[in-house]
Structure 1
Amino acid sequence: MNDSPGWATPGSPSDGQGSDDGRPPAPPAGDDKWSASQPPPGQWSSPSPGQSPPPSRQTPGWGSYERQPGQRPTAPYAGPYGHPGGWGGPPPAAKPGVIPLRPLGLGEILDGAVSTLRGHWRSVLSITLVVAVLFQLAILLVQRLTLDTVVLDPQTATPSQALDLMGDTLALYGFQYYAEFTALALVTALLAPVVSNAVLGRASTPAATLRTVRPLAPRMLGLTGLLLVGALAAGFLPALPGILSGNVLLTALSLPIGLVLLAWFYVTFSLAPPALMLERGSAIGAMKRSARLVKGSWWRVCGITVLTWLIRSITAAIIAMPFAAVAALATPGGLGALLDGSAARNWTFLIITAIGGIIGTTITLPMQTGVTTLLYVDQRIRREALDLELARAAGLDGPGGTITGG
């Protein structure tokens, strides 16, 4: 046996000195606390060198669960009929809401995000719809302004005209990306309380969600602004020397560097919105918190985020396709206007496609925000044993509560 606290070597309650023939020491004379009959010789002796210990009579499959090196300790579990362990391994984790309370896999994160949307659709869709309408209107106006360029004939277009059209196109796509980035950060923060309730198996209403968010609105807007400024700096600072010098080649070579910095910035601080809303700290503190949680798991967070973005983009494109077809048919010139680019300057085409974009964004954006919040929960479970706190908050281990900071 070991000498760890709480353990003692088995044997007779004596001073540990036995007789030469292997018998236990005789009880002291006149001591009536000891029985006169003692075990026969050898029953209390330790096994001789090389002798195997007696076989265990424990039934296979009923052994207690032993914690492996580096594994976080868990609460004791009583298996069937009160025996510890269970049928060949640790018990399944408790699942009061959309995820089990343990470190999550990719499928469980995606399923939890979809289950949140399905089970709390009133709160999720009402909040996302408002944000989607605002940002789609902004994109619509910028699209109408930037593409108000004369349709170019590739055979007669001058280099300056082609350069202007290229600049307008890059400006439009850049604005769309950063508008989506801002909307994603904002919706993630707004829906973090909804996902928190879904994890605990609690209901959410739009009114209750707004009451939760309202005190944190200034900090939420401040964090959104900081993330936007940081993303702009990461994307454009590498290209700034080429832009200021008018060197097109230098600008083009700096674009990959900007994309790498932008990806690093986005993944590193992607968990800041849920950290702000669920831990109720400052905007700067939420960004630092996100960087600490992502550290060491950057590629995992990046892979799950990119995969979710691909799924969301494909789903949104499928939703928007019927609206694009209707818009092409309703636009003067039909498919010909769509092919030569003139449809992009027609209000009918722009409005119908914007409606499709609003519907697609409203349905698919909550999936991305749900995955981000569940990644935050998963990282805290892996690093800080948040699952034990969540179990208590869900009423599985002590009085209920809320998700709080670590």
Structure 2
Amino acid sequence: MNDTPGWASPGSTPSDGSEPAGSSGAQSPEQPGRSGANQPEPTSKWSKEQPPPGQWSAPNPQSAGQAPPPPPPGPGWGGHHPEGHGGQGSGPSGPYGGWGAPGGWGGSGGGWGGGGWGGPPPAAKPGVIPLRPLGVGEILDGAVSTMRTYWRTVLGIALTVAVVTQIATILLQGFVLADSADTAALSDPNATLDELTQATANSMVGSVAVSVVTLLGTIVATALLTSVTSRAVLGKPVTTAEAWHEARPRLLRLLGLTLLLPLIAGVIVFVGVLPGILVAAGGQAAAGAVLALLGGLGAFVLAVWLMVRFSLASPTLMLEKQSIGKAMGRSAKLVRGSWWRVFGIQLLATVIAYIVASIIVIPFVFIATAFSGDGAVGLLSGTGGLGWTFLIISGIGSVVGSMLTFPITAGVTVLLYIDQRIRREALDLDLARAAGVQGYGTDTPGATPGG
């Protein structure tokens, strides 16, 4: 048995098995049972000068003036960290405990879970999420917590972007799509080819213009909210001006990325249906339709797979300051092996955002229809047109819906990106250092960087 101080059990005998001289069974230099001055002294190998008894006493309790034993060699599997996980222990085991001492395997100190085998210690949480791999609920809760904790900045950004976007959209719809003759021509079976062509062109121009305005607003909101969410993870607030200052140099790259991804998906779908279109143009309409349907379905699946694979390119471009190509490559690397998880979380966030927007927008649409000139009958029949009253009231509902959905979708994407980097690259260590968490990942018992 190793009798080095700190490893030997308190009160144990020396490793050679001999009894201490100060114990009750120790023999004196004189033979017991032989008394009297007339007895001759036997020959003895004991030295007449023995060490004081106090030096051979058991190590617990320590004698007054005795130097304390050197500290144990540091916290091990059962060790008890002296700070941050339960404080200093007491007794002969010192601050680190042992096999059953406070803070050891079975003790009540700072073992795993504070009580033995209860699990690893809780992760540090300087901001809206704990610094460890996240669950689905924690990602959604983190997005909502960001909006709730930093509501002035988050809702201010979302409201500003939504108001500007909706004003531009209302103006385009009011001036481009206000002519009810175009809408009536599309539903009139007696309309001429020129009328149908003009109506279709005007509708497409208006729809494209509205989509571009909405896309630009989404890009700006995503860029600004990405900066806010990344700071919220560290527990550090950010103002709208600071978020704009960080996001502005990369807005053009984010615009290029946002336009490139739908373009890639559109090209894939077009290539998938192109053989069917060619076959149908050759005179075999039925075979061409079937081929186009199958090719389009396969191309759609491939496009969805690629869009999910590149779905983390936006936060990568903003937070890592990468180019468009490198951001797409980084996103593909982070998603690899977790495609279904990333797809499921983003689909869930999209469904939640759509439901929230619908709950808010639909009542405004009914109110707008009721206050418009021709009511619901004229709107559904295509004879009423899009009046300014309808556009303004429905636009207010869209502003409120966008103000709530922008932070959810952007926050989930950023937190999913951070979660994937924690799982693959131990980003939690860098985040803890950036947040000022002392000693995270280096001296926490049982901590595994990156989880």
- The normalised TM-score by structure 1 is 0.69
* C-alpha distance in 2 between matches for 1:236 and 1:389: 44
- Alignment partner of 2:238 out of 200, 204, 207: 204
Q: Aligned-pair distance for 1:86?
A: 1.9
Q: What's the CA shift for 1:321?
A: 2.0
1:88-103 pair list within 5 angstroms: 88-103=118-133
| Alignment match of 2:137 (pick from 93, 107, 129) | 107
In structure 2, the partner of 1:323 is 364
Q: Which has the higher helix share?
A: 1
* TM alignment of 1:6-405, pairs within 5 A: 58=100, 62-63=104-105, 81=109, 86-87=114-115, 88-136=118-166, 140=170, 141=172, 144=177, 148-150=182-184, 183-240=217-274, 249=289, 254-397=295-438
Determine helix, strand or coil for the equivalent of 2:237.
coil
Q: 1:112, 1:81 → 2: CA distance? A: 31
Distance of aligned partners of 1:158 and 1:221 in 2 relative to their CA distance in 1, 3 Å threshold: closer
Secondary structure at the aligned position of 1:150 is classed as helix
Distance 1:240 1:353 in 2: 39
Which whole-Å CA distance do the structure 1 matches of 2:212 and 2:306 have between them?
13
Do the aligned residues in 2 keep the contact of 1:98 with 1:199 (CA within 8 Å)?
yes
Counterpart of 2:177, as a letter, is R
CA deviation string 1:120-176 (max 9, x = no partner): 22322333334434544565536827983216668x568989997899989988887
Structure 1 position 211, deviation (Å): 1.3
C-alpha contact 2:102 2:109 (8 A) present in aligned 1: no
AA of the residue aligned to 1:314 = I
Following superposition, the deviation at residue 225 of structure 1 comes to 3.1
Instruction: State the alpha-carbon separation in 2 of the partners of residues 205 and 306 from structure 1.
Output: 30
Deviation, structure 1 residue 61: 9.4
Q: TM-score, normalised by structure 2?
A: 0.63
Change (3 A) 1:286 1:151: same
Q: 1:235 to 1:176 in 2, by over 3 A?
A: farther
Q: Counterpart of 1:113 in 2: which secondary structure?
A: helix
Q: 1:83 to 1:239 in 2, by over 3 A?
A: closer
- TM superposition shift of 1:60: 10
Q: Is the 8 A contact 2:273 2:296 kept in 1?
A: yes
Aligned equivalents of 1:186, 1:388: Cα separation in 2? 30
The Cα of 1:370 is off from its aligned counterpart by 0.3
Deviation at 1:189, TM superposition (A): 2.8
Q: Cα distance, 1:330 vs. partner? A: 1.6
C-alpha separation in 2, matches of 1:162 and 1:63: 84
Judged with a 3 Å threshold, the aligned counterparts in structure 2 of structure 1 residues 285 and 321 are, in CA distance, closer, same or farther, namely same
Q: Indicate how the Cα distance of structure 1 residues 189 and 162 shifts in structure 2: closer, same or farther if over 3 A, else same.
A: same
- Bigger-Rg structure (1/2): 2
Cα distance, 1:275 vs structure 2: 0.7
1:57 CA drift (Å): 5.7
What SS does structure 2 have at the residue aligned with 1:149?
helix
Task: State whether residues 124 and 191 of structure 1, in contact with CA within 8 Å, keep that contact through their aligned partners in structure 2.
Answer: yes
Higher mean alpha-carbon deviation, 371-380 vs 132-141, is at: 132-141
Q: CA RMSD in A?
A: 4.1
Kept in 2, the 8 Å contact 1:324–1:353? The answer is yes
Structure 1 pair 365–388 and aligned structure 2 pair: CA distance change class (3 A): same
The letter of the residue matching 1:224 is T
One-letter amino acid matched to 1:269: F
Between the two proteins, the alignment pairs up a number of residues equal to 338
Given that 1:62 and 1:86 are in contact with CA atoms closer than 8 Å, whether structure 2 keeps it comes out as no
C-alpha separation in 2, matches of 1:62 and 1:168: 76
